[in-house]
Amino acid sequence: MAYETFYSDLVCIGAGLAGERVAIEAAAAGFKTILLSLVPPRRSHSCAAEGGMQAALGNCAMGEGDSPDVHFADTVKGSDWGCDQEVARIFADTAPIAVREASHWGMPWNRVEAGKSMCFKGGVCFEVEDKAEKHGLITARAFGGTAKWRTCYTADGTGHTLLYTLDNKVTQLGITVHDRIEAVSLIHDGDRCVGCVARCLKTGKLRVYLSKATLIATGGYGKLYSETTNTVINEGGGHIVALDTGLVPFGNPEAVQFHPTGIVPTNILVTEGCRGDGGTLLDVNQERFMHIYEPEKAELASRDVVSRWMMHHIREGHGVPSPYGPHLWLDIRHLGEKHITTRLREVYDTCIHFLGVDPITQLIPVRPCHHYSMGGVRTNKDGYAYGLEGLFSAGESCCWDMHGFNRLGGNSLAETIVAGRHIGRAVADYLKGAETTLRTDLARQAVARDEERIKRIVSGADGKENVYDVRNAMQKEMMDNVGIFRNGTDLQKAVDNLRELLVRSKKVGLRSSGVGSSPELAMAIKISGMVRMAICVAYGALMRTESRGAHAREDYTARNDRDWLTRTLAYWRNPDADLPTLEYEPASPVFHLPPGDRGYGKCEIICREEMNE
Amino acid sequence: MSRQLKFNIFRYNPQDPNSVPHTDSFWLDETPSLTLFIALNRLREEQDSSLNFDFACRMAICGSCGMVINGRPGLACRTLTSDLPGEITLMPLPVFKLVGDLAVDTGTWFRATNEKIESWIHTDQEFDPEALEERMENDLANSIFELERCIECGCCVASCGTANMRADFVGAFALNRVARFVMDPRDKRSDADYFEVVGTDQGIFGCMGLLACEDVCPRKIPLQDQLGILRRKMGFIGLKNLFRRKV
Amino acid sequence: MTTIDTAIYVKPPSRVSAYLDWLQMLTGAGLIAFMWSHMILVASVNLGVKVMNAIAWFFEATYMAQVGGPLIGATMLLHFVLAARKIPFTTSEQGAIWRHAKMLHHTDTWLWVIQAVTAMIILIMGSVHMWTVLTDLPITAQKSAARIQGGFWMVFYLILLPMIELHVGIGFYRIAVKWGFIRRAERKPFKRFENILTAVMILIGLITIIRFATLAI
Ligand SMILES: Cc1cc2nc3c(=O)[nH]c(=O)nc-3n(C[C@H](O)[C@H](O)[C@H](O)COP(=O)(O)OP(=O)(O)OC[C@H]3O[C@@H](n4cnc5c(N)ncnc54)[C@H](O)[C@@H]3O)c2cc1C
Ligand code: HEM
Ligand code: HEM
Ligand code: SF4
Ligand code: F3S
Ligand code: FES
């Protein structure tokens, strides 16, 4: 059993924005750092974010009077009080610094241009005037669920430019990057994590990374669903290895967000910026409808609210029929050719190339689809994972929990670099004190285990299930029964079916030889982990008998602060079990902003006793 | 409408001693709005699970899926089969090292090239968390973004005859990247510094003006214009030194 | 790992590549200018034997042919040496560019291949031609006509003419795009212009050859 071993102070599993930002912080502090990624870092999912990131700079006219306090309040309200308010506070305070730092590193943020300009909101045109003293500072645009215009952006390539900026920094610092590497298990002794076993996706060989600290920054797990805006590599690899330890909990798995405007049929997201800039939603009669449900915010209400009303409207029979099922229209025609081909160029290109639709003159077919995973590897406010020392997490894969049950648009890009900065420092501090012996004996055992598992899959020792059939069945189950509207009956059905799928997933056998990089084998290795994650989501949703943020139960429509102002912690303690153990902890250690009305969406609240004056 | 599409796909698994480079043919019924992304995934799931190819974003923004489609390097995820004839030939991008079938290792190449051209902001200034950001004209920010839109898909490199002949040529992508930093006032590199990076036959003077890069770039980066500007700029820096005669 | 501060050993940037690129372009441009003048000179026979003889006499009387001829030869040689840096001489390079051009359906790449191939032909045929003409001064329409009516030179020119015009036309286009004189938006129209120019030049050349062939000596 020959395998390569790589030693470092920190190994970051995941080289998206979060992973890279942590790596930069650790490397700058002098620690040997290795970044692992399924794809070259610049191809990470972060590059797909178009709209922008929130930071209370208050430079543009419509952002005047903004402050971290306002941003904090918006974030907490957005989370439907499900977030950790200490974390939200750290986040809101650090975001402006992180944005300026990115600028210092070369990020071409769009800037304030003094003088009058025309804006759209809800299809209405109005004039704003930017002040001369703010000219040339970083500007912002409107996004759903925010009191001020706070979303900093670079045209519609914010994630792309930010990721390139960070990766440039990583290159500058000479940080080692191993791409086409997939982590398949964590190495630990029950108390402490000392690295991971990974599979090289170029050669198919297993290798070992031994490190004093290990970071999980593997992004979201959108591919549990068939219709998702996420990239095809967002399969929850990091969550699986953490959950597999039996020690690290999966926080709030049921908190899954849907996006209102994925194009039909490919689910490519058209940015919220479309609506922020004044785009409107139309139904089969080409009439606006959002103002009926949300008189004040209309199309700009937070995305879970918009998604739900869209589905509601479709269910009421106002959807546009199509071979791919009913959808609605997004109308940006009135923004004009110049605006669409410059500020919304990405959207324009998407429509032309993937739909054959010209958004300057035609309507865009859209419908809600899975978009974001609020839940993840549960950590404390400094990114320390629960359950294992030396294990950290940051970014979308992490549940340090600033999003609670609903993330605001623009808050997750900001989260990646704010958390990366903050948690990166925590990691560096940890490393300063760390006296870990890098245990090669543990590594040997872990590799042997994984090698055995792979051998059985390749030889079909446990069965000949087709991995793609299992995956597709799981994705469909999640889409059909663990989607935007949830209810006990469907969720129960989903849990039952997924448990059956779990059995099948353990009988997967390859149809190809499995030699070399073998994409089929890569999928087969993680399939049962994916099904376990899906079960966590479905089971967590079934047990949470309330509606909060993106988690909307038709049979429990009220937000129940009395019983459910909590965070779900899903543990998979017994590898042979087919259900996780669910535990709960208070949503936040402190409530600077006491639970109340979000100011949008329907408002049915069962109050906590002590707050029920 | 429904056509039977024939796919001729290059096959080779360098890790497998029994594998030899060859072409396999597959057939697939065309459906509405079928992209090569959907088609290849269907082929892998329904016909040959050993088929190797790369996709990530499937929305033409990550640059993973560059391949040679009927003779032209392009992004498979945003290629609609309805824009292609009924017989579709797919080959991996040349220049880059083959991982298997249609998948190539672009990561190593781009990282090495980015190191070579020092693709980052060079400045002595420390970041001050308390201070306001340095101001910039919005038009300039947009111009930088225009060049920063490159997604490192490798299509320009794969389509460039020079890069195919000479392994040390940095390619249009890198020259565009340098042009981006030349434009950025935050980068304090002098003309001479840039000259050192690209004023060579591995850099701008190696480019023979074949312009395949310009023609295949899926992001429509203005490569022709940037290469022209850079050649003139570097040319003049070279001349200036001739007359001044100092280092 | 030992780290050596390589900065101190780094040579100041070499400017050689820049000079050579300038020279390649300038010799190319010079040769273009020459070839167009040359065309006017030779094609003047179409306006009348006397006109051509007069022009030829003028060049010789001023010694421009005697001095300019070898100078052109030298320029061509220099241009060749410079351009040779780009020509694939090894079989692996030739294989690479050939496979590549065949795979890629792209005219500008093919144009370059044409340029490289014509270059080799021009190198040989151009030299032979220059030697012949310059060792047999003075130039007169009658002598040229006699040469061409001999048959061998007719075939020779029928080959050399398209070679040189293609090479010049493509070179003209390439200088314009490489150095940014022609921008993205102007490329298409400019290319069309260049194609027409090449065609016209070949046409004039053909008429000239026919004129020589039919000229009473
Ligand atoms: C279409 C779209 C648009 C968006 N727009 C916005 C927006 O406008 N504003 C906003 O704030 N947010 C937006 N988001 C959300 C935001 O982009 C993401 O939340 C954020 O980029 C996540 O960054 P990350 O660094 O945590 O993870 P990612 O960028 O997803 O990186 C994950 C990394 O982990 C690696 N990885 C995964 N599994 C493994 C494994 N097993 N082994 C090794 N490596 C692994 C991957 O290769 C990758 O490098 C958008 C999301 C989508 C889908
Ligand atoms: C009178 C004869 C010639 C004329 C008018 C001429 C003209 C030109 C011009 C204008 C260019 C473009 C220059 C550039 O891109 O910088 C060029 C390029 C070239 N020439 Fe010539 N040339 C002549 C003879 C030759 C000869 C004899 C050779 C070599 C054997 C040659 C080889 C080349 C090559 C290979 C190129 C391409 C260089 C590149 O792409 O960078 N040429 N020529
Ligand atoms: C100074 C040098 C040159 C002189 C004095 C010269 C002179 C002439 C003359 C007198 C003719 C008429 C035909 C003849 O007499 O045989 C001619 C024809 C021609 N020359 Fe040259 N030449 C020179 C250089 C070149 C070069 C460098 C090339 C190209 C590489 C070239 C290409 C041709 C061609 C293609 C023709 C045929 C013209 C036609 O068809 O109209 N010549 N030249
Ligand atoms: S310049 Fe264009 S073709 Fe080249 S890597 Fe960038 S996006 Fe791809
Ligand atoms: S194709 Fe190559 S030779 Fe130059 S113009 Fe483009 S880099
Ligand atoms: S899959 Fe990302 S560019 Fe095609």
Q: Residue C135's CB: how many other CB atoms inside 10 A?
A: 8
CB distance B179 to B98 below 8 Å: no
What is the number of residues in chain C? 217
Interface check C186 vs B, CB under 8 A: no
Domain assignment present for C11: no
C105, C108, C181 ranked by CB distance to B71: nearest:
C105
Task: Please check whether residue A517 is in contact with residue A203, taking contact to mean a CB–CB distance below 8 angstroms.
Answer: yes
For the stretch B121-180, pLDDT in tens is: 999 999 999 999 999 999 999 999 999 999 999 999 999 999 998 888 999 999 999 999
Report which DSSP code applies to A351: I
Provide the residue type at A38 as one letter.
L
Q: Residue C34: its pLDDT value, please?
A: 87
Of A329, A340, A313, the closest CA to residue A263 belongs to A329
Cβ(A210)–Cβ(A194) below 8 Å? yes
Question: Whole-angstrom Cα distance, residue B206 to residue C19?
Answer: 13
Cβ-contact A392, A216 below 8 angstroms? yes
Cα–Cα distance between A298 and A305 in angstroms, integer? 10
Residue A121: per-residue pLDDT? 63
More confident residue, C127 or A497: A497
Contact indicator for A207, A184 with CB cutoff of 8 Å: no
Nearest by CB to A155, which of B100, B127, B142? B142
**Cα–Cα dist B159/B67, whole Å:** 10
Give the model's pLDDT for residue C99.
Answer: 87
Q: Which residues of A are catalytic?
A: 259, 275
SS (H, E, C) C53-100: HHHHHHHHHCCHHHHHHHHHHHHHHHHHHHHHCCCCCCHHHHHHHHHH
The closest alpha carbon to A34, from A14, A54, A56, A63, belongs to: A14
CB A66 within 8 A of CB A58: yes
- pLDDT, one tens digit per residue, over B22-42 is 999 999 998 877 899 999 999
Distance C171 CA to ligand 5 centre (A): 15
- 3-class DSSP assignment, residue B59: coil
The label of the residue with tokens 């029928």 reads: C158
Task: Say how far apart CA A564 and CA A80 lie, in whole Å.
Answer: 11
What's the length of chain A? 613
> Quick check: is C4 in a domain?
no
pLDDT for the residue A208: 96
Length of chain B (residues): 247
Distances (CA, A) of C148 to A143, B56, B140, C144, C209: 79, 66, 62, 6, 8
Q: In testing the pocket of ligand 6, which one of B40, B61, B216 has its CB within 8 Å of the most ligand atoms?
A: B61
Under 8 Å CB pairs connecting chains B and C tally to 113
Residues 52-81 of B with CB under 8 A from A: 52, 54-64, 78, 80
The answer to whether the Cβ–Cβ distance between B235 and C108 falls below 8 Å is no
Asked, for residue C5, whether it belongs to a domain, the answer is no
What CATH number labels B4-104?
3.10.20.30
Identify which of A539, A462, A465, A552 has the alpha carbon closest to the alpha carbon of residue A497: A539
User: How many domains does chain C contain in total?
Assistant: 1
CATH number at residue C170: 1.20.1300.10
Nearest to A6 by CA among A390, A394, A522, A440: A440
Checking if the pLDDT of C13 tops 70, the result is no
Q: For residue B115, give the nearest of A48, A139, A171 by CB distance.
A: A171
Q: Is the pLDDT at B96 greater than 90, yes or no?
A: yes
CA of B212 to the centre of ligand 5 (A): 6
Which ligand does the CA of B54 lie closest to? 6
Q: What is the residue whose two structure tokens read 């980068």?
A: B187
List the chains bordering chain B where 3 or more Cβ pairs fall under 8 Å. A, C
Confidence of residue C4 (pLDDT cuts 50, 70, 90): very low
Residues contacting A506, CB < 8 A, separation 6+: A462, A463, A528
Residue C70 inside a domain? The answer is yes
In a domain, C10, yes or no: no
Tens of pLDDT, residue by residue over A368-391, are 899 999 999 999 999 999 999 999
3-state helix, strand, coil split of chain C in percent (to 5) is 80, 0, 20
Give bridge partners of residue A200 from the DSSP assignment: A181
Dihedral sign (CA A63, A68, A70, A73): positive
Cβ of C11 under 8 Å from any chain B Cβ? no
Q: Cis (ω within 30 of 0) for the bond into B92?
A: no
Which ligand is closest in space to the CA of residue C97?
5
A67 CB-contact burial (10 Å; exposed 0-12 / middle 13-18 / buried 19+)? middle
Tens of pLDDT, residue by residue over A43-69, are 999 999 888 999 999 999 888 889 999
- Least Cα distance to B223 among B165, B163, B167 occurs for B163
Instruction: Indicate whether C3 pLDDT > 50.
Output: no
Domain ranges of chain B: 4-104, 117-246
DSSP string over C110-148: HHHHHHHHHHHHHHHHHHHHHHHHHTTPSP-HHHHHHHH
**How far is ligand 5, taken at its centre, from the CA of residue B228, in Å?**
11
Choose between A346 and C99: higher pLDDT: C99
Question: Looking at residue A209, what is its pLDDT?
Answer: 97
Q: What is the pLDDT of residue C1?
A: 40
- Chain A hits for B116, CB-CB cut-off 8 Å, are none
Cβ pair B215, B241 in contact under 8 A: no
| Residue whose C-alpha is closest to residue A23's, from A305, A302, A427, A307 | A427
Q: At what angle do helices B36-46 and A467-481 cross, to 10 degrees?
A: 120
Distance (Å, rounded) from C-alpha B146 to C-alpha B220?
10
Atom of ligand 3 at shortest range from CA of C72: 1
Nearest CA-CA partner of A302 in A229, A396, A372: A372
User: Torsion angle of alpha carbons C153, C156, C159, C162, nearest 10°?
Assistant: -50
CA C47 vs CA A482, C44, C54, C56, C202: distances in Å: 88, 5, 12, 14, 17
Contacts of A340 (CB under 8 A, 6+ apart): A332, A347, A348, A359, A360
- Atom 10 of ligand 1, residue of closest alpha carbon: A410
Residue matched to tokens 């071409």: A108
Residues C145-162 have a mean pLDDT of 85
User: pTM of the predicted model, to two decimals?
Assistant: 0.92
The three-state secondary structure class of A454 is helix
Predicted local distance difference test score (pLDDT) of residue C11: 53
The Cα angle at residue A119 between residues A118 and A121, in degrees rounded to 5:
150
Q: Which of B115, B32, B122, B120 minimizes the C-alpha distance to B80?
A: B32
Residue C203 CA to residue A175 CA, distance in Å, equals 62
Strands A181-188 and A193-200: antiparallel
What is the pLDDT confidence band of residue C107, given thresholds at 50, 70 and 90? confident
Share of chain B above pLDDT 70, in %: 97
Q: In this complex, which of C18, C21, C96 lies closest to B165 when CB atoms are compared?
A: C96
Structure-token pair, residue A473: 């069945």
pLDDT of B244: 58
User: Domain span at residue C39?
Assistant: 18-214
Residues of chain A where predicted confidence (pLDDT) is lower than 70: 1, 120-124, 600-602, 609-613
Q: Cβ(B138)–Cβ(A139) under 8 Å?
A: yes
Q: Identify which of B148, B145, B169, B149 has the alpha carbon closest to the alpha carbon of residue B157.
A: B169
List the one residue out of A413, A306, A366 whose CA is nearest residue A48.
A413
Cβ atoms of residues A434 and A413 within 8 Å = no
CB B218 within 8 A of CB B155: yes
| Torsion angle, alpha carbons of C205, C208, C213, C215, to 10 | -170
Name the residue of B53, B62, B152, B216 whose CB sits within 8 Å of the most ligand 6 atoms, as the mutation to test its pocket.
B62
Q: Which pLDDT does position B158 carry in this prediction?
A: 95
**Closest ligand to residue C131's CA:** 3
CA distance A375 to A588: 15
How far is the centre of ligand 4, averaged over its atoms, from the C-alpha of B173 (Å)?
6
pLDDT given at position A67: 94
| Degrees to nearest 5, angle at CA A158 with A157 and A159 | 100
Q: Is residue C22 part of a domain?
A: yes
User: How does DSSP assign A51-83, residue by residue?
Assistant: S-EE-----SGGGTT--HHHHHHHHHHHTTT-S
In chain B, which residues have their Cβ closer than 8 Å to the Cβ of C105? 71-72
Distance CA A408, CA A75 (A): 7
Q: For residues C117 and A102, what is the distance between their CA atoms, to the nearest angstrom?
A: 51
Cβ neighbours of A116 (radius 10 Å): 10
Q: What is the DSSP string of B160-177?
A: -HHHHH-TT--HHHHHHH
φ, ψ of residue B220 to 5 degrees: the values are 55, 40
Is 50 exceeded by the pLDDT of residue C8? no
Does residue C162 fall inside a structural domain? Answer: yes
Q: Is A438 exposed, middle or buried (0-12, 13-18, 19+ CB in 10 A)?
A: middle
- DSSP 8-state class, residue A508: B
Q: Domain B117-246 class?
A: mainly alpha
